[in-house]
């Protein structure tokens, strides 16, 4: 299952590199429709925009909703290079994403199975499928390189 998402994760990694230009943490996200066609993509833009909510996932979800003309992203998959945080996990649940695929695990802030498991919380009305660890080493290396340069 993980290998079937490698191509989409490579796309998300390429998007993530765009964040380096503005000094943002290099996280990239791609939203695919049910047929696997890309609807939207985004990288982190918090530094670029001064917006604390400008995480790659939130921006990609907004753009996908605009492309479809509805906030309900049923049938869609969010592919992201880093395990979503609580804000992003909540956003993808509210957007009714069917599946979240991520690369690197985030033991300090992850909310899709590491520190928390917001996306599969039985108290919520929607629980997307979770596929973690896709191209994990490549995704982690991009982040490790960024943080090593900023220490």
DSSP letters along 47-98, please?
HHH--TT--HHHHHHHHHHHHHTSS--TT-EEEEEE---HHHHHHHHHTT-S
Instruction: Kindly report, residue by residue over 43-60, the tens digit of the pLDDT.
Output: 999 999 999 999 999 999
Q: Where are the domains of the chain?
A: 11-149
Whether 72 shows a pLDDT value over 80: the answer reads yes
As given in the structure block, the two tokens for residue 150 are 């900023």
pLDDT at 147 > cutoff 80: yes
Query: Do the Cβ atoms of 151 and 144 come closer than 8 Å?
Result: no
Q: Is the dihedral of CA 38, 130, 7, 17 positive or negative?
A: positive
Nearest to 104 by CA among 77, 137, 129: 137
| pLDDT at 123 > cutoff 70 | yes
Mean of pLDDT values over 7-16: 98
Closest-CA residue to 33 (of 64, 69, 71, 2): 64
| 55 labeled binding residue | yes
Residues forming beta bridges with residue 77, ordered by sequence position: 32, 99
Please state, as a whole number, how many other Cβ atoms lie within 10 Å of the Cβ of residue 49: 13
What confidence score (pLDDT) does residue 135 get? 98
pLDDT in tens, 85-108: 999 999 999 999 999 999 999 999
Asked if the model's pLDDT at residue 3 lies above 80, the reply is no
| Residues tagged active-site | 57
Q: Does pTM top 0.85 for this prediction? A: yes
**DSSP string across 6-18:** HHHHHHHHHHHHG
88 among annotated binding-site residues: yes
The pLDDT of residue 1 is: 57
The answer to whether the annotation marks 150 as part of a ligand binding site is no
Distance CA(126)–CA(100), nearest Å, equals: 12
pLDDT confidence of 151, banded at 50, 70, 90?
confident
Domain 11-149 in CATH 3.90.1150.10 = no
* Mean pLDDT of the region 20-41: 97
What is the pLDDT at residue 150? 83
Radius of gyration of the chain (CA): 14
């Amino acid at each position: 299952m993980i290998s079937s998402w490698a191509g989409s994760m490579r796309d998300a990694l390429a998007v993530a590199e765009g964040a380096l230009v503005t000094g943002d943490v290099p996280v990239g996200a791609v939203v695919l429709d049910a047929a696997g066609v890309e609807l939207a993509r985004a990288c982190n833009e918090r530094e670029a925009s001064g917006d604390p909510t400008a995480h790659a996932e939130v921006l990609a979800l907004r753009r996908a909703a605009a492309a479809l003309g509805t906030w309900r992203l049923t049938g869609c998959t969010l592919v992201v290079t880093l395990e979503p945080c609580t804000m992003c996990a909540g956003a993808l649940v509210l957007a009714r994403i069917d599946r979240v695929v991520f690369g690197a695990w985030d033991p300090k802030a992850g909310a899709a199975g590491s520190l928390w498991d917001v996306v599969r919380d039985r108290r919520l009305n929607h629980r997307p499928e979770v596929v973690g660890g896709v191209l994990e080493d490549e995704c982690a290396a991009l982040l490790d390189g960024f943080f090593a340069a900023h220490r």
